């Protein structure tokens, strides 16, 4: 160590966001056909061309498509020839954004395009997600994503943190808010329905969605050139906890809390939070872990209960939070993404607009 | 024929996985109706066991037998069992803390209905009749009245321990190739080859994938190409592939169909392998009911000039 202070890291902002109208099925399109309009839209918002982008990073999963290296075909949509600086994460696009953010911090690039997509309709998403489980003790039992979320929801009910009425209210509020979101799939008065896996009913579960999203990041002055009110990323962190559900306290999310703390979320209050909570019960847990009280506007987009394109739903939370800063509806927003069973992995970003 | 195609796609894979010493003891134990946990550095007993302490990351391996009885720590009623799940009739998913353990195991509970299940209820292991050394050797849990069951007193050392398990998996998909590739496949059924032209750089892509990888634009204009083409480059295959009844050596080539800006690849026939050359003009040979040309053969035209295909190499 030289004792010298590290140089101040450059400021990086989300300067543009675009997403598809999320739908139950996009079988008339290939993935790249679904994705391309979103890429064109996000570039058009900044006036950038594909060739102007310094770094490109995408998130998707072969298990959704049922094909190996499926992301390579989607690359046609970004104009990957002549060669570009590109990377891919087999994860939600929020984690691709994290990689792009670190790339911009290194000063290797001034702009980045981040996109992600998923076609949950290609297979049976409840079964597909069992393949992310531990292959020795869990996956052979095929416990589907709703079943695992339901175990977590019952633990919450037993702990007195919520009840079925309160869970139904989360779903109802999300879909009511989604009526103002032209991209949402489920909006308005959606029946709570029967139990899918008790205590979770249809209304507590996310729709099966196909969709895509894209974000452009830019550093420093470049961000101001490209966007009237950039959404500055003040911090991002992601944390993981034990995979085995029986080791964890399912009523809490210590990894989300720790990620928020390291992202600086607790330093000052936020006015908006976009939470990636595919199940109503998970919003209850996240509100507690992230210390969000009634003064914070939670999921004005409708959240994942209104549209859940797997692999894009987390990136969309960051995009939605940023869009609220772009439009002046928010000054300081928290965005959250999750992955794995029962909120195993959590990413938190804190976004701010310039003071007014 | 419909404009947009779709077809069932099954992905099935039997993964063979090696076991570490702790997983081996646990799964071998299940085969022998013994449930083993592992002791952590701070003295807790983890069931199911892991090889590294989840808090300190230290390697751990001290095996501890726990009882085949336990307590439900949380549950969820599954009214519609899915393929591969432990029971075919409605059941409860449960996390069970076995007597003697500090953590819980996920499995199924056979119970008559959701009203007969609650957190804190006592349950016991129901063993599968045939056991192979897998988590499914526990067929499920069933309600249990009373206190802890009796451990067998096993040390955790087995005569013929498992060293690996095979975990089969199957996922069912509907494959949809999208607009551009559907058009390509539909045209092939009429023995035609279609590509798509980029609106910006005007290149014709075959097979079309709906996007120009140079411009990043949607390719919308459909263009018929071929049927004849030019060999741009080739290789001679000398090793016979399994289940392939083509005699070696044979030639595999890149073929630029007339009007296309991208070469396809296909086998060359109808000419001795050592006479295939760059610039050779070829035409497709279709066999009965085939969905694509079986191979390409010389068309009899003079060789193409290098300048006409140098950009397509």
Which regions of chain A does DSSP assign to beta strands (E)? 12-19, 55-59, 86-89, 111-119, 195-197, 200-201, 210-219, 231-240, 272-274, 297-298, 332-339, 345-352
**pLDDT-derived band of residue A236, with 50, 70 and 90 as boundaries?**
very high
- Mind listing the pLDDT tens digit for each residue in A45-60? 999 998 899 999 999 9
CA gap A44, A39 in Å, rounded: 9
In the prediction, which pLDDT does A162 show? 97
Here the CATH number for the domain that contains residue A84 is 3.40.47.10
- Confirm whether B48 is domain-assigned: yes
Per DSSP, B304 falls in state: P
**pLDDT-derived band of residue B97, with 50, 70 and 90 as boundaries?**
very high
Instruction: Tell me the residue range of the domain where A32 lies.
Output: 12-123+210-232
Same domain, A38 and A165: no
Residue A136: its chain B contacts at CB < 8 A? 17, 19, 23, 27, 48, 135, 165, 167
Number of domains in chain B: 2
Residue A37: its chain B contacts at CB < 8 A? 218
**Is some CB atom of chain B closer than 8 A to the CB atom of A242?**
yes
A242 to chain B nearest CA, in Å? 7
- Confirm whether B39 is domain-assigned: yes
In the prediction, which pLDDT does A2 show? 52
User: Is the pLDDT score of B2 beyond 60?
Assistant: no
In the prediction, which pLDDT does B208 show? 93
Q: With an 8 Å Cβ cutoff, are A247 and B103 in contact? A: yes
**Is some CB atom of chain A closer than 8 A to the CB atom of B52?**
no
Evaluate the omega torsion of the peptide bond into residue B48 and state whether it is cis, within 30 degrees of 0: yes
User: Is the pLDDT score of A1 beyond 70?
Assistant: no
- In the stretch 194-213 of chain B, residues with CB closer than 8 A to chain A read 209-213
**Is some CB atom of chain B closer than 8 A to the CB atom of A121?**
yes
**Is some CB atom of chain B closer than 8 A to the CB atom of A245?**
yes
- Confirm whether A163 is domain-assigned: yes
Last residue of a domain, one of A232, A266, A295: A232
Best B74, B78, B91, B139 member to test A by mutation, with max A CBs in 10 Å, is B74
- Confirm whether B205 is domain-assigned: no
- Mind listing the pLDDT tens digit for each residue in B164-202? 999 999 999 999 999 999 999 999 999 999 999 999 999
- Mind listing the pLDDT tens digit for each residue in B273-310? 999 999 999 999 999 888 899 999 999 999 999 999 99
Q: What is the mean pLDDT of residues B213-241?
A: 92
Same domain, A314 and A196: yes
What kind and span of H or E run contains B14? strand B7-18
**pLDDT-derived band of residue A82, with 50, 70 and 90 as boundaries?**
confident
The answer to whether B61 and B22 have CB atoms below 8 angstroms apart is yes
A86 to chain B nearest CA, in Å? 14
Last residue of a domain, one of B144, B169, B194: B169
In the prediction, which pLDDT does A80 show? 85
- In the stretch 35-74 of chain A, residues with CB closer than 8 A to chain B read 36-37, 39-40, 50, 63, 65-66, 73
Same domain, A136 and A269: yes
**Is some CB atom of chain A closer than 8 A to the CB atom of B133?**
no
- Confirm whether A249 is domain-assigned: yes
Closest CB to A151 among B93, B105, B174: B93
Q: What is the mean pLDDT of residues A65-73?
A: 89
Output the average pLDDT for chain A: 95
Same domain, B161 and B239: no
In the prediction, which pLDDT does A9 show? 81
- Confirm whether A345 is domain-assigned: yes
- Confirm whether A5 is domain-assigned: no
Q: With an 8 Å Cβ cutoff, are B4 and A152 in contact? A: no
- Confirm whether A140 is domain-assigned: yes
User: Is the pLDDT score of A187 beyond 70?
Assistant: yes
Same domain, B156 and B249: no
**Is some CB atom of chain A closer than 8 A to the CB atom of B90?**
no
Phi, psi of A349 (to 5 degrees): -120, 145
Q: Which residue of B has its CA nearest to A153?
A: B76
Q: With an 8 Å Cβ cutoff, are B76 and A197 in contact? A: yes
In the prediction, which pLDDT does B313 show? 86
Same domain, A275 and A157: yes
- Cα–Cα distances (Å) from B191 to B88, B220, B224, B266, in that order, read 48, 21, 11, 15
Same domain, A74 and A168: no
Last residue of a domain, one of B104, B136, B169: B169
Q: How many residues does chain B have?
A: 313
**Is some CB atom of chain A closer than 8 A to the CB atom of B45?**
no
Best A82, A143, A146 member to test B by mutation, with max B CBs in 10 Å, is A143
Q: What is the mean pLDDT of residues A307-318?
A: 98
Q: What is the mean pLDDT of residues A225-242?
A: 97
Output the average pLDDT for chain B: 94
- In the stretch 193-232 of chain A, residues with CB closer than 8 A to chain B read 195, 197-200
Same domain, A164 and A282: yes
Radius of gyration, alpha carbons of chain B: 31
Same domain, B129 and B265: no
Sorted by sequence, the CB contacts under 8 Å of residue B159 that are 6+ apart come out as none
Number of domains in chain A: 2
Q: What is the mean pLDDT of residues A263-268?
A: 98
- Mind listing the pLDDT tens digit for each residue in B108-125? 999 999 999 999 999 999
Q: Which residue of A has its CA nearest to B139?
A: A141
- Mind listing the pLDDT tens digit for each residue in B50-75? 999 988 899 999 999 999 999 999 99
Instruction: Tell me the residue range of the domain where B103 lies.
Output: 13-169
Interface ipTM: 0.94
**Percentage with pLDDT > 70 across chain B:** 99
């Amino acid at each position: 160590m030289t004792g010298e202070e590290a140089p101040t890291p450059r400021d990086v902002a989300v300067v543009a966001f675009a997403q598809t109208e999320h739908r139950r099925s996009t079988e008339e399109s290939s993935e790249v056909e679904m994705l391309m309009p979103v890429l064109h839209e996000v570039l058009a918002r900044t006036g950038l061309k594909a060739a102007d982008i310094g770094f490109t990073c995408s998130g998707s999963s072969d298990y959704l498509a049922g094909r190996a290296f499926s992301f390579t075909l989607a690359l046609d949509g970004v104009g990957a020839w002549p060669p570009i600086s590109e990377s891919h994460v087999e994860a939600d696009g929020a984690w691709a954004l994290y990689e792009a953010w670190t790339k911009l911090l290194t000063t290797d690039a001034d702009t980045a395009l981040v996109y992600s997509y998923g076609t949950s309709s290609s297979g049976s998403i409840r079964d597909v997600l069992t393949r992310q489980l531990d292959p020795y003790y869990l996956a052979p039992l095929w416990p589907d994503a709703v079943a695992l979320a339901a175990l977590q929801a019952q633990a919450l009910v037993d702990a007195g943190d919520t009840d079925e009425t309160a869970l139904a209210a989360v779903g109802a509020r999300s879909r009511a808010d989604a009526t103002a979101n032209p991209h949402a799939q489920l909006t308005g008065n959606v029946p709570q329905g029967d139990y899918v896996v008790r205590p979770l009913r249809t209304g507590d579960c996310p729709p099966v969605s196909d969709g895509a999203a894209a974000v452009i990041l830019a550093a420093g002055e470049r961000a101001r050139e490209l966007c009237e009110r950039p959404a500055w990323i003040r911090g991002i962190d992601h944390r993981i906890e034990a995979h085995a559900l029986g080791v964890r306290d399912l009523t809490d999310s210590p990894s989300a809390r720790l990620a928020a703390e390291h992202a600086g979320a607790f330093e000052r209050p936020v006015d908006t939070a976009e939470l990636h909570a595919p199940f109503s019960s998970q919003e209850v847990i996240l509100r507690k872990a992230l210390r969000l009280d009634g003064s914070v506007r939670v999921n004005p987009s409708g959240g994942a209960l209104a549209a859940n394109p797997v692999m894009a739903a987390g990136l969309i939370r960051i995009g939605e939070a940023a869009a609220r800063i772009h439009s002046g509806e928010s000054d300081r927003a928290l965005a959250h993404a999750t992955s794995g069973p029962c909120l195993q992995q959590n990413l938190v970003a804190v976004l701010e607009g310039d003071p007014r | 024929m419909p404009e947009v195609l779709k077809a069932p796609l099954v992905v099935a894979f039997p993964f063979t996985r090696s076991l570490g010493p702790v997983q081996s003891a646990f799964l071998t134990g299940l085969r022998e109706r013994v449930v083993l946990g592992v002791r952590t550095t701070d003295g807790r007993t983890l069931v199911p066991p892991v090889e590294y302490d989840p808090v300190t990351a230290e390697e751990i391996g001290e095996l501890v037998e726990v009882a085949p009885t336990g307590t439900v720590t949380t549950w969820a009623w599954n009214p519609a069992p899915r393929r591969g799940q432990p029971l075919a009739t409605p059941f409860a998913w449960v996390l069970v803390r076995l007597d003697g353990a500090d953590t819980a195991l996920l499995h199924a509970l056979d119970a008559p209905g959701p009203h007969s299940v609650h957190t804190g209820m006592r349950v016991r292991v129901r063993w599968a009749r045939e056991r192979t050394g897998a988590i499914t050797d526990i067929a499920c849990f069933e309600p249990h009245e009373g206190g802890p069951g009796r451990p067998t007193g096993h040390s955790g050392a087995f005569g013929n321990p498992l060293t690996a398990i095979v975990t089969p998996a199957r996922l069912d998909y509907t494959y949809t190739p999208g607009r551009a590739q559907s058009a390509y496949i539909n045209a092939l059924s009429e023995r035609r080859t279609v590509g798509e032209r980029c609106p910006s750089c005007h290149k014709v892509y075959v097979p079309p994938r709906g996007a120009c990888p140079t411009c990043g634009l949607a390719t919308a204009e459909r263009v018929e190409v071929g049927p004849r083409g030019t060999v741009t480059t080739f290789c001679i295959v000398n090793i016979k592939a399994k289940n392939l009844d083509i005699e070696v050596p044979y030639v595999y080539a890149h073929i630029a169909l007339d009007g296309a800006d991208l070469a396809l690849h296909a086998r060359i026939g109808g000419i001795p392998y050592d006479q295939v050359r760059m610039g050779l003009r070829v035409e497709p040979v279709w066999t009965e009911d085939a969905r694509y040309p079986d191979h390409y053969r010389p068309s009899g035209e003079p060789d193409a000039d290098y300048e006409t295909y140098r950009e397509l190499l």
